[in-house]
Amino acid sequence: MRIGLTGGIGSGKSTVAGFLREAGAALIDTDAISRALTLAGGVAMPAIQQQFGADFVTADGALERDRMRALVFSDAGAKRRLEAILHPLITAQALTEADAAPQALVVFDVPLLVESGRWRSRVARVLVVDCRAETQIARVLQRPGWTRERVDGALAAQTSRQARRAAADAVLLNDGIALAALRSEVLSLAARWGCETIGPP
């Protein structure tokens, strides 16, 4: 079974993804795919250079991430243009990885699952990790280099908590819950969704 895992920035997606992997799932991380596509020599770099110009490309040919982040989190048109380049490539690579996975449960970790519209038809279930915006902000501010302005920009560029919850087949509320309790919720959900049938590859 294929599952889409989503949630706002800092909601706890990667944490939940780690527990799903522990439960035996194959994990496909679209942020990681996006980063690989935009490394030096990455498949997306010629189109990004053509669309945004040399200022958004480092000397060795990678995406100038700080500059691009500042642009897309303050300019909706630029965000759309970047996504038009990256999202089809991310989806294609994610599906290739899923086809190669021997596991019975495949989890696509897609931060923008609800926003993109590309994923709903490709997964049997959507799992949303949900928490209050204040919790998201507090978690993300722990990361080196993140400022309140940067977190607010990222939050504003993402869909609402309400819209995400409305798209969910299951919601994990990850607020005021200990990691151990979250882990057991995830493991029992994974068991319900088919992990118990997984044998050796």
Ligand X SMILES: CC(C)(COP(=O)(O)OP(=O)(O)OC[C@H]1O[C@@H](n2cnc3c(N)ncnc32)[C@H](O)[C@@H]1O)[C@@H](O)C(=O)NCCC(=O)NCCS
Footprint on this chain of ligand X (rule: CB under 6 A): 9, 30-31, 34-35, 38, 65, 68-69, 72, 79, 82-83, 86, 90, 110-112, 154, 157-158
Residue 83 binds which of ligand ATP, ligand X, none (CB < 5-8 A, kind-dependent): ligand X
Shortest Cβ distance from residue 112 to ligand ATP (Å)? 10
Known binding residue 160? Answer is no
Among the listed residues 170, 167, 165, 166, the one whose alpha carbon sits nearest the alpha carbon of residue 192:
170
Helix (H) or strand (E) holding 76: helix 76-100
In contact, 83 and 95? CB cutoff 8 Å: no
Q: Which two tokens mark 27?
A: 């994990």
Shorter beta-carbon distance to ligand ATP: residue 139 or 161: 139
Interhelix angle for 133-141 vs 148-156, to 10°? 130
**Considering only 3-11, 52-60, 83-91, 145-153, which stretch makes contact with ligand ATP by CB under 6 A?**
3-11
In contact, 37 and 93? CB cutoff 8 Å: yes
In contact, 85 and 51? CB cutoff 8 Å: yes
Known binding residue 15? Answer is yes
Binding residue for ligand ATP (CB under 6 A) from 2, 3, 5, 10? 10
Query: Binding-site residues, please?
Result: 10-15
User: Which residues are annotated binding-site positions for ATP?
Assistant: 10-15
